[in-house]
């Protein structure tokens, strides 16, 4: 090759490199619509992704994979494990062997474990540049705090959801007993007791209960009336970070729950109810008040079941009653991420693949990619009318699995209103109720603290308090025991320090 030809080739290479760089820069600044705005150029790169989920179709029927592959010039290989235990085992095997997927789902505990083993990529340096679109999409600085360990970010939390849980009450039972919708704690107790004792379904049998639920979470929507939150949760009260176990209002709440039980206002089987048994009782007409998400009571399939049992059954959403601490629905965990995705540290040595992972995350966080992983293909699974997404019949039939590719989450409220247009009023009610915000999702557990052991002991003793098996006068003894034998004192001290450092409380 003569010098002139070699010089010409070098110039062509430099021009091509410049064009590729310009294309990448365009993608970053314009929302990552694709690696280069459509059919991505360059080397086709395989990305292996793992998560705990179910419902993934075979690759030939997986139109999301096909569209992502085309847009990003990639070969995305997603493995979804329906069992969390199977997923954990597979992930551990991969971690131990050093054969890591390029992107994988983690919860808080997994993130802490793998970070301590130095297996995760520190994403902090990339958040304001390569991953800026992702960071903005999931909620900015506040969101990335959920995935911090020692001030560094080791995963991408999904965009936050919206509250869906409220209490529901049988309006037709209220009417039958000539009762009003309860507004206060005392009215609530009276109504729940009447549902259990006064034959609201009129069948002449004492076969109904008042408030039902699963375990102690049955009472979750009532803590707010005392100005506190679920047992063991951290929140800001009077300007300071507080763990609710040490909040004096917790004893008041426990005393009220015991009075509900003593009055016969609560389903006597709440501690035995498993899975969705409380929902089954509501559907079968056995219970009059339930704390549940809207989807499990007013989705069309459940409405049909309820009407089959009793065509006159009318469930309405119930705002939590007022109490001495105010009127709040169940607490809302602002620090929790539905799930998170991490990148292995080993990808630092494969810049090309790392860039492709970033492109994928940016793409599903941009307009085009986000709509693909929310609703499917435009013109097939949805149409855009007057700027709004309108579902076609095919969306329900074919796009039920697209959430598996929502690695950075979705704009929850807009998404739900498209997919569940008939339930919009219930979605709005659930998401708009006032709630106290809890912060546990931001907290990393200190060494020596076993959260499972502490929670087990907490539930055992709270059950005793609620059912009168242990007097509330022994509550201080309970705090001493959990604080000293479960390392709970160390946990609380560490959590408050962490939350203060993140800007919560004094």
CATH number at residue 342: 3.40.190.10
198 CB contacts (<8 Å, ≥6 apart)?
177
Identify whether the C-beta of residue 71 lies closer than 8 Å to the C-beta of residue 65.
Answer: no
**351 in the same domain as 412:** yes
**122 in the same domain as 239:** no
Whether 16 maps to a domain, the answer reads no
**493 in the same domain as 393:** no
**398 in the same domain as 269:** no
340 CB contacts (<8 Å, ≥6 apart)?
105, 106, 107, 108, 111, 146, 147, 155, 156, 157, 158
Identify whether the C-beta of residue 361 lies closer than 8 Å to the C-beta of residue 355.
Answer: no
**459 in the same domain as 310:** yes
Domain boundary among 383, 417, 451: 417
Domain boundary among 359, 382, 417: 417
Whether 147 maps to a domain, the answer reads yes
Whether 24 maps to a domain, the answer reads no
Question: Which residue range forms the structural domain that includes residue 379?
Answer: 45-160+336-417
Whether 32 maps to a domain, the answer reads no
Whether 496 maps to a domain, the answer reads yes
**299 in the same domain as 196:** yes
Cα separation, 394 vs 406, whole angstroms: 19
**272 in the same domain as 134:** no
Does residue 135 register a pLDDT over 60? yes
**320 in the same domain as 341:** no
Total number of domains constituting the chain: 2
Does residue 369 register a pLDDT over 90? yes
Whether 423 maps to a domain, the answer reads no
Whether 125 maps to a domain, the answer reads yes
pLDDT at 397: 93
Does residue 335 register a pLDDT over 90? no
Does residue 230 register a pLDDT over 60? yes
Q: What is the mean pLDDT of residues 96-116?
A: 92
**449 in the same domain as 413:** no
44 CB contacts (<8 Å, ≥6 apart)?
73, 74, 75
Q: Which residue reads 């708009």 in tokens?
A: 432
User: Quick one: pLDDT band at residue 337, thresholds 50, 70, 90?
Assistant: confident
pLDDT at 448: 86
Q: Which residue reads 């790392």 in tokens?
A: 354
Global pTM exceeds 0.85: no
**194 in the same domain as 68:** no
Cα separation, 46 vs 69, whole angstroms: 9
85 CB contacts (<8 Å, ≥6 apart)?
none
**349 in the same domain as 322:** no
pLDDT at 41: 59
Whether 188 maps to a domain, the answer reads yes
**246 in the same domain as 381:** no
DSSP 466-504: HTTSS-GGGHHHHHHHHHHHS-HHHHHHHHHHHHHHTT-
User: Quick one: pLDDT band at residue 64, thresholds 50, 70, 90?
Assistant: very high
Average pLDDT, the chain: 91
Q: Which residue reads 């492109």 in tokens?
A: 359
Does residue 477 register a pLDDT over 60? yes
């Amino acid at each position: 090759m003569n010098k002139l030809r070699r010089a010409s080739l070098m110039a062509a290479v430099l021009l091509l490199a410049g064009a590729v760089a310009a294309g990448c820069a365009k993608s970053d600044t314009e929302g990552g619509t694709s690696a280069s705005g459509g059919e991505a150029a360059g080397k086709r790169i395989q990305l292996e992704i793992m998560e705990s989920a179910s419902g993934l179709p075979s690759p030939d029927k997986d139109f999301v994979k096909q569209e992502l592959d085309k847009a990003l010039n990639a070969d995305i290989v997603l493995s979804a494990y329906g069992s969390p235990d199977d997923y954990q085992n597979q992930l551990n095997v991969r971690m131990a062997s050093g054969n890591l997927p390029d992107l994988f789902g983690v919860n808080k505990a997994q993130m802490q474990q793998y970070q301590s083993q130095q297996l995760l990529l520190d994403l902090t340096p990339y958040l304001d540049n390569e991953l800026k679109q992702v960071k903005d999409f999931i909620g900015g600085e506040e969101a990335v705090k959920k995935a911090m360990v020692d001030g560094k970010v080791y995963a991408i939390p999904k965009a936050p959801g919206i509250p869906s849980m409220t209490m529901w009450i049988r309006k037709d039972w209220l009417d039958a007993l000539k009762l009003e919708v309860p507004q206060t704690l005392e009215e609530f107790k009276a109504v729940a007791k009447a549902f259990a004792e006064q034959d609201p379904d009129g069948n002449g049998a004492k076969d109904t209960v008042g408030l039902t639920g699963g375990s102690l979470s049955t009472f979750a929507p009532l803590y707010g009336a005392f100005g506190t939150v679920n047992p063991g949760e951290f929140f800001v009260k009077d300007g300071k970070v507080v763990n609710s176990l040490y909040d004096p209002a917790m004893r008041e709440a426990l005393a009220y729950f015991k009075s509900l039980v003593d009055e016969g206002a609560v389903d006597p089987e709440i501690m035995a109810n498993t899975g969705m048994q409380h929902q089954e009782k509501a559907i079968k007409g056995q219970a009059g008040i339930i704390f549940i998400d809207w989807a499990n009571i007013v989705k069309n399939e459940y409405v049909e079941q309820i009407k089959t049992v009793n065509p006159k059954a009318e469930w309405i959403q119930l705002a939590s009653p007022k109490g001495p601490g105010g009127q709040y629905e169940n607490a809302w965990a602002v620090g929790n991420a539905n799930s998170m995705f991490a990148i292995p540290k080993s990808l630092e040595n494969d810049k090309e693949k790392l860039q492709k992972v970033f492109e994928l995350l940016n793409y599903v966080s941009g307009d085009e990619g986000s709509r693909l992983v929310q609703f499917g293909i435009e013109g097939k699974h949805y149409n855009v009318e007057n700027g709004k997404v309108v579902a076609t019949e095919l969306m329900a039939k074919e796009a039920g699995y697209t959430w598996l590719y929502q690695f950075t989450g979705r704009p929850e409220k807009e998404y739900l209103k498209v997919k569940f247009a008939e339930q919009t009023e219930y979605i709005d009610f659930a998401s708009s109720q006032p709630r106290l915000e809890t912060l546990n999702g931001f907290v990393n557990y200190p060494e020596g603290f076993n959260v499972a052991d502490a929670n087990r002991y907490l539930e055992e003793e709270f059950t005793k308090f609620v059912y009168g098996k242990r007097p509330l006068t022994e509550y201080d003894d309970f705090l001493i025991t959990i604080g000293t034998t479960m390392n709970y004192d160390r946990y609380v001290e560490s959590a408050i320090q962490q939350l203060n450092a993140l800007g919560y409380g004094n």
